[in-house]
Amino acid sequence: MSTRIAAELLPSFEMEKEVIIVRKYQEMKDQFDVEELEKKCEVVQKGKPSIVTDLLGDPIGRVRYLPLHAMLVAEYRKEIVGVIRGSIRTVSRGKNESNDEFQKYVKVAYIGGLRVSPSHRRFGIATKLVEQLEEWFIRNGAEYAYMATDCSNQASINLFTQKCNYVKFRTPRVLVQPINAHYKHIPSGISIIQIPPQLAITYYTQIFKNSEFYPLDIDLILNHKLNLGTFMALPNKFIPNWDPRTGKLPNCYAILSIWNTKEVYKLQVKGLSAWKQAFCLGERLLDTLMPCLKVHSIPTVLESFGFHQLFGLHVEGKNSKNLMKGLCNFAHNMARNDSDCGLLITEVSQTDPVCEGIPYCKKYSWDEDLWCMKKLEVNSKKGSDDKCLDDWTKPQVSSSVIFVDPRDF
């Protein structure tokens, strides 16, 4: 798949027009060039800390684990100057009792990893990459496409909302907890058990049946090698009266799953001043030597580090938020035993009650991660299964819960 775009060059070549080719990523041919492009797009200002991504030698890794995915590159004079990644899956749309024609499950596409070389921006390359990826989405049956970006990334927001006709859709919270050198306390009154994948599928389907973005292929996620397990916290007094084999959820519990994102890519902090680096290292050393002080230190800032993503978080029952806190502390201690893991990250709807039970560091978290969505122009045949009479992007009664697929992060 390719398309050719006439694009004016930089000012010194103002009268010359060249050909830019948008085509599918070829792993053997393009891997090195895409990694070099990613490095060019890093924004690092001295004295201003920023996080850069290490793709671990696999540029397509961030979409590789989705059954239906694509990666496109923009090429100019045999140089890769742009890249974009996309994936498709079937998800739930939440609950809408006011519309009889409401389509509960839809094929939705996700756009991520859009990069354009700094020296080739403002020539429409990003727009063309999005358009070509949308064509691939439509050919593969996707009905909606969405992307996620930081609310402060005005350039990305303008591209999608002003040029590509996306609308601002959801603003979930991203909560980040650094992995301290000391262990986190787990209350003695609760028990934490690991739930087998098949039973976890049963539970999650009950819990998230009316949520948004719950994936129909949840079995692939929970059985994936990157999933470190699903865990449930229960009050000790509930244990004797509950048999998990029945598939029935207890009256009071907290549940979550852990995704090993560090096997896909890692992060590194750059731009820190020398004194800030020294302060962070000193704080970490103090936390290591005197764990009883419970200093909230951050992992090494001089090397790349990975993170675990918490997903599928839910609570039920009285004082269940304390159960979630204990469960998150368990996940922290589990990550602490992994020397390459520096953070726990989770993304949840702002109105989800589970937010109150998730420990996080305000300094490293952000309250609004903007999701923008677009209804794709799909020329589907009319029939009994055609229920696309409503538009998910329009205001409607829906769930306050969003299931964040760890494969998208």
pLDDT for position 381: 43
The pair of three-digit structure tokens given for residue 196, joined into one six-digit string: 């087998």
Query: Are residues 6 and 145 part of one domain?
Result: yes
> Is 338 within 8 Å of 154 (Cβ atoms)?
no
- Tokens describing residue 349: 């709807």
Same domain assignment for residues 350 and 216: yes
Q: Is the dihedral of CA 41, 47, 48, 54 positive or negative?
A: positive
Please check whether residues 167 and 227 belong to one and the same domain: no
Residues 147, 123, single domain; the answer is: yes
Say yes or no to pLDDT of 221 above 90: yes
Lowest mean pLDDT among 71-85, 149-163, 193-207, 286-300: 286-300
% the chain with pLDDT above 90: 63
Measured distance CA(343)–CA(262) in Å, rounded: 10
Q: Give yes or no: residues 238 and 123 share one domain.
A: no
How many domains does the chain contain in total?
2
| Residue that the structure tokens 């262990």 belong to | 183
- Residue 406 is predicted with a pLDDT of 96
Amino acid, res. 302:
L
DSSP 150-188: ETT-HHHHHIIIIIS--EEEE--EEEEEE--SSPPP--T
Q: Are strands 369-375 and 167-170 parallel, antiparallel or unpaired?
A: antiparallel
pLDDT of residue 213: 96
If asked whether residues 203 and 159 sit together in one domain, one would say no
**CATH at 10:** 3.40.630.30
215-224, 241-250, 343-352: the lowest-pLDDT one: 241-250
Query: Across all residues in the chain, what is the average pLDDT?
Result: 87
Confidence category of residue 237, pLDDT binned at 50, 70, 90: confident
Please tell me the predicted confidence (pLDDT) of residue 389: 52
Based on the fold, state whether residues 241 and 308 are members of the same structural domain: yes
- CATH number at 353 reads 3.40.630
Residue 15 has pLDDT above 60, yes or no: no
259 in the same domain as 122: no
pLDDT for residue 212 is more than 70: yes
Q: Which residues constitute the domain of residue 228?
A: 175-364
CB atoms within 10 A of CB 173: 19
Nearest to 263 by CA among 313, 225, 223, 310: 225
Residue type, 407: R
- pLDDT score of 210 more than 80: yes
Q: Is there a single domain that holds both residue 115 and residue 188?
A: no
What pLDDT score was predicted for residue 397?
A: 56
| Token representation of residue 87 | 């994936």
**57-67 pLDDT, tens per residue?**
999 999 999 99
Residue 280: per-residue pLDDT: 86
Q: Quick check: 270 and 50 in contact, CB under 8 A?
A: yes
**pLDDT (0 to 100) of residue 11:** 37
Read out DSSP for 81-150?
Answer: EEEEEEEEEEEEE---TT-TT--SEEEEEEEEEEEE-GGG-SSSHHHHHHHHHHHHHHHTT--EEEEEEE
Mean pLDDT of 109-131: 94
8-state DSSP, 184 = P
Same domain, 302 and 404: no
Pairing verdict, β 79-93 and 369-375: unpaired
The per-residue pLDDT for 171 is 93
Lowest mean pLDDT across 34-38, 48-52, 220-224: 48-52
Whether 359 and 380 share a structural domain: no
pTM of the complete model: 0.90
Q: What is the pLDDT of residue 48?
A: 66
The more confident residue out of 333 and 18 is 333
pLDDT tens by residue, 264-317: 999 988 878 888 888 888 998 899 899 888 888 888 767 889 999 999 999 999
Lowest pLDDT segment from 82-91, 120-129, 289-298, 345-354: 289-298
**pLDDT over 70 for what percent of the chain?**
88
Report d(CA 359, CA 356) in Å as an integer: 8
The predicted pLDDT at position 9 comes to 33
Query: Domain check: are 138 and 223 in the same one?
Result: no
CA 79 from chain centre, in angstroms, equals 29
| pLDDT tens for each residue of 66-114 | 999 999 999 998 899 999 999 999 999 987 666 555 578 999 999 999 9
